[in-house]
Structure 1
Amino acid sequence: MDDRVRVVLDVIQAVQDRDAETLDRLYHDDLEFREPPSLPYGGDLEGKAVLQEQLESDPQRTWLGTWGPLQPTEAERRFDPRVVAVNGDEVVVKYWMRGVGPDGERFESEVLGLYEVRDGKFARAQMFHFDTAAMVEFLNRAR
Structure 2
Amino acid sequence: AAPSAGSPPVITGQLGFDGAPASPPRLVVALRNTTVLSVAAGGAHSIVATRAGAYTFGDNAEGQLGRRTSEATQPPWLADATPTVVLADRTIVSCAAGWHHSLLVTSEGDVYGAGLNTSGALGVAGVQATA
TM-score normalized by the length of structure 1: 0.25
Question: Counting helix residues as a fraction of each chain, which structure ranks higher?
Answer: 1
TM-score normalized by the length of structure 2: 0.27
